[in-house]
Structure 1
């Protein structure tokens, strides 16, 4: 990977000359510099101190809890493969995935109860009874392992998902030697949906499609004939898994965009507040110049006139800013860009 150096436009802070000791001015200058760096580096702005972000990241890595304070502003653990887009590793996207896996955990328990009950009812169809109960016990054990493994983002690695799918495939392949060639229902039955949906949630529609193809191929290979009912089940698996993966991806993208819009709105509101504080000080100076300028003679009178004009223009700008402020509640809008010009103050060449 070749390093890239980007040079941005020069930043002019001459308008703050003589105000280096004002902490509000220093914060405004810092915000403007960081915003310029964000645009050059194409990184996401996080309105939190680095020390707190590091502490939150360490705490989240130890607990695996997505609800930890400050977690939304810290970079989440790398729970996805490197081939995934960076947006899918966003904290908001990981939070959506966590909720999906919690729902999947409940579904796994329901599928397990259903699989155990069906095998108990159809136990007479097994030619090797002890092998059937061994497979049932394996489903119970693996369901517990899967519930534990998928509960924390840091454990959702490729190995866990591959083992999950491998267990489902193995149980399907063992159906023939245990039940015989003429079996009607495989041993795991709908229990395989747990692994299928885990691939769809974690690896989106591509993962769902791959897992569906593997399970469909396995099911077809162990059957002597493919009935219309079997075909219907396989068709639903092949179509449903990618759709679930696509919906998960869409939810994660929307959550990441909403989180980003909220941070941008908060940063814009903070810059507007700082700009208002700076403008208040400037207005006081302009008002004083306008009142006292006439005492300095003709030159002072001209200075007072110009100060009066600039005071009126600045007050109009502040009133315009107040009318634009509600737009920040709508997420992405033209307000952040306009408020940035207000927070940064007049540009080079401005008379104020």
Structure 2
């Protein structure tokens, strides 16, 4: 894939060519007034060679390296420092351009394209500082040049950062689209084959009864699990490392577990998604162990903007008063570590509502 900021580098190359031609014209115009004309032309020759090198380097992705940009800045400032040896006092008095003129702005633009707005602004400020040291006086024109140099580097750097982020998001969107299309294709294939067979086995086994009914129940559970798998939203993450919580929860649905999630994405840090999924798994595991074989569970995910609410409820017999404390005292740390501990690590809140014959409901709140 092409470098997302390749267009900025092409602009940098074009700027280098135009500014060199301007510097060359400046040397021709002021040649007769220079104190050391030979040194001026030597500087122009170095500028020509370095321009040719950077044009070749910046035109290729492999040549856009930090050391080249740093060398570009050092050489530009170094050639600029020859101006007091080349120019006369009268030329400084009449504000004749330094030997590098606007050619020296190239490193600020290159630094912005490579490293972003901070690098571009710092490089522009460095060139402006070098201009001040060679002019040896502070003026409105000098301050204007420094602001323009730093501003140009900052703006190019901002455009570079934005282009890179946009390229990552576009690639992510294309991957998600491809994953969704493949999921839909597989879903059609599974629906036309495996799901129909499982549904047939479940129906026929129920009709026959006995051991066949047990097989029918297993087939029904696998049918529900497979439907949940193909219906789950594709896993998705952002540049900042956030992930959608919904797919991980949707995969937990079975014939006895119903999962309800919003239609829109519920983005959280990827680590938080893993921890919250583990909390739900532990809660459902407790339902399976303690609520009885016929108990059902419901998982509800709500996105309230500044917080995410996740609840797990079952219709089992409930937890007797003092049972959790005694289990923890006996060294069984499932609830204490797998649920409470994870929620505390996420800096969320955990609320338990239960009682004899009332079922159990865990409610987790995690703030964004």
The match for 1:200 is 112
Post-superposition offset of 1:252: 0.8
Structure 2 residue 159 is the aligned partner of structure 1 residue 247: yes
1:200–1:208 Cα contact (<8 Å) kept: yes
Tell me, in whole angstroms, the C-alpha distance in 2 between the residues paired with 1:349 and 1:314. 10
Q: Give the structure 2 partner of residue 147 of structure 1.
A: 55
> In structure 1, what is the equivalent of residue 187 of structure 2?
275
CA drift at 1:238 = 2.4
| CA–CA distance in structure 2, aligned partners of residues 317 and 204 of structure 1 | 44
Which segments of 5 or more consecutive residues in structure 1 lack a partner in the other structure? 1-65, 68-94, 329-334
Given that 2:9 and 2:58 are in contact with CA atoms closer than 8 Å, whether structure 1 keeps it comes out as yes
In the TM superposition, what is the alpha-carbon distance from 1:98 to its structure 2 partner?
A: 2.7
Q: Pick the aligned partner of 2:24 from 116, 120, 132.
A: 116
Distance 2:149 2:28 in 1: 25
- In structure 1, distance between residues paired with 2:231 and 2:201: 24
| Residues in 2 aligned to 1:284 and 1:336: alpha-carbon distance in whole angstroms | 30
Q: Closer, same or farther in 2 for the Cα pair 1:255/1:295, shift >3 Å?
A: closer
Q: Identify if the C-alpha distance between structure 1 residues 207 and 102 changes in structure 2 by more than 3 Å, giving closer, same or farther.
A: same
User: Contact (CA 8 Å) 1:181, 1:224: kept in 2 or not?
Assistant: no
| Bigger RCO of structures 1 and 2 (CA < 8 A, at least 6 apart) | 1
**Pairwise CA distance, 1:154:** 2.8
Report the CA distance shift for 1:283/1:203 in structure 2 as closer, same or farther (over 3 A): closer
- Report what 2:102 is aligned to: 190
Quick one: distance in 1 between partners of 2:198 and 2:211? 13
* 1:103 and 2:11 matched: yes
Kept after mapping to 1: 8 A contact 2:207/2:213: no
Residue of 134, 140, 148 corresponding to 1:222: 134
Cα distance, 1:137–1:301 mapped onto 2, change above 3 Å: closer
Give the corresponding residue for 2:301.
Answer: none
Larger radius of gyration: 2
How far is 1:306 from its partner?
8.5
Give the equivalent residue in structure 1 for 2:71. 163
Structure 2 CA distance, aligned partners of 1:175 and 1:160? 23
Deviation at 1:260, TM superposition (A): 1.7
Aligned-residue offset at 1:313: 8.4
In the TM superposition, 1:18-167 aligns within 5 A as 66-67=1-2, 95-167=3-75
Contact kept, 8 Å, 1:220 with 1:226, in 2: the verdict is yes
How many angstroms does 1:199 deviate by?
0.9
Ranges in structure 2 where 5+ consecutive residues have no aligned partner? 237-242, 258-293, 295-368
Q: Contact 1:216/1:234 (CA < 8 Å) preserved in 2?
A: yes
Instruction: Give, in angstroms, the shift of residue 169 of structure 1.
Output: 0.4
More helix by share: 1
Distance of 1:206 and 1:258 partners within structure 2: 25
Contact in 2 for aligned 1:283/1:314 (Cα 8 Å):
no
For 2:13 and 2:225, locate their aligned partners in 1 and report how far apart those are by CA, in whole Å.
Answer: 58
Q: Distance in 2 between the 1:247 and 1:227 partners?
A: 30
Q: Following the alignment from structure 2 to structure 1, what is the Cα–Cα distance between the partners of residues 175 and 120?
A: 32
Aligned length: 252
Residues 275, 223 of structure 1: CA spacing in aligned structure 2 closer, same or farther, 3 A cutoff?
A: same
SS across alignment from 1:96: coil
* Shift in Å, 1:286: 4.8
Alpha carbons 1:181, 1:223 under 8 Å: kept: no
The answer to whether the 8 A contact 1:108-1:191 is kept is yes
Secondary structure of 1:226's match?
Answer: coil
Q: 1:73-105 CA deviation, whole Å, 9 max, x = no partner?
A: xxxxxxxxxxxxxxxxxxxxxx11333212211
Deviations along 1:243-299, whole A, 9 cap, x unmatched? 321221122112112212221231232233223322221343256458866984x77
Asked whether the equivalents of residues 196 and 241 of structure 1 are also in contact (C-alpha less than 8 Å), the reply is: yes
